[in-house]
Amino acid sequence: MARHSCTSAALAIAGAALSVVLLGGCSLLNPSPDPTTPATSSRPKPSDQATTAPVGLHPDLPAADNLAYFDQVGQGVVAANASAGGRDFVDALVAAGFDKAAMQVTADETTQGEPADSVQFAVLFNHECLVGQYGPKSGGYHGEVQPALGTGGCLLGQTRPIDW
């Protein structure tokens, strides 16, 4: 019986020692700030601000940081008019502050005069392209950032003049 008590006591002491080590280890993992060490800034870099910047136009940030706003505008057009065409998107983007001179848009109709399956629209933005596509037959609205083309534009193929 004394032998069992001794074993229990040894286990209790070992457990207490382990608790001290584990608790001490927590303070090693999360040390208290040293008052003589300057605080480091966790300020996000511009490319990290997509989740921290409020939704709106941020001309000084990369295109990726403006995609949420671009998409918000595009989705608003679709919500207001399920049969929206290129002009609807261009006008809404201009009203939202995007540069009309930096935009491209495809035709709303095919060469046979039929409605296009989708319309593409884009804004050249800080050397990248914010590109949107909408068509009820092509899966709805989609937006993304793409590299600018070597021509300085964003869309391949025939685009229509934005002359309104």
- Judged against a pLDDT cut of 60, whether residue 38 lies above it is answered with no
Burial of 84 (0-12, 13-18, 19+ CB in 10 A): buried
What angle is formed at CA 81 by the lines to CA 100 and CA 51, rounded to 5 degrees?
Answer: 60
Shared domain for 64 and 17, answered yes or no, is: no
Indicate yes or no: pTM above 0.75. no
What's the confidence (pLDDT) of residue 54? Answer: 66
Average pLDDT, the chain: 78
Q: Please indicate, yes or no, if residue 46 is contained in any of the structural domains.
A: no
Q: What is the pLDDT of residue 52?
A: 56
67 and 18 part of one domain: no
Answer whether residue 112 is part of any domain.
yes
Same domain for 130 and 82: yes
Who wins on pLDDT, 164 or 30? 164
- Name the residue range of residue 26's domain: 1-31
Q: Judge whether 118 lies within some domain.
A: yes
Q: Please, what's the b/e burial string for 104-115 (b: 16 or more CB within 10 A of its CB; e: otherwise)?
A: bbbebeeeeeee
Q: What is the mean pLDDT of residues 50-76?
A: 89
Query: What does the pLDDT look like over 117-142, one tens digit per residue?
Result: 999 999 999 999 999 999 988 889 99
Residues 129 and 86 in one domain: yes
pLDDT range class, residue 55, cuts 50, 70, 90:
confident
* Residue range 145-151: mean pLDDT, rounded: 96
pLDDT for 50: 46
φ, ψ for residue 33 (rounded to 5)? -60, 135
Query: What digits encode the pLDDT tens for the residues 68-89?
Result: 999 999 999 999 999 999 999 9
Element (H, E) at 141: strand 140-147
Give the DSSP letter of residue 34: P
Please report where in the chains the tokens 């050249």 appear, as a residue. 124
Distance from first CA to last CA of the chain, Å, rounded? 99
H/E element, 26: helix 2-29
Identify the pLDDT of residue 116.
93
CA distance 97 to 73: 10
Distances (CA, A) of 2 to 6, 7, 13: 6, 9, 16
Instruction: Report the pLDDT value the prediction gives residue 89, as an integer from 0 to 100.
Output: 98
Mean pLDDT of 92-105: 98
Please count the other Cβ atoms lying within 10 Å of the Cβ belonging to residue 50. 17
Residue 86 lies in a domain: yes
3-state secondary structure of 70: helix
Mean pLDDT for the stretch of residues 4-27: 38
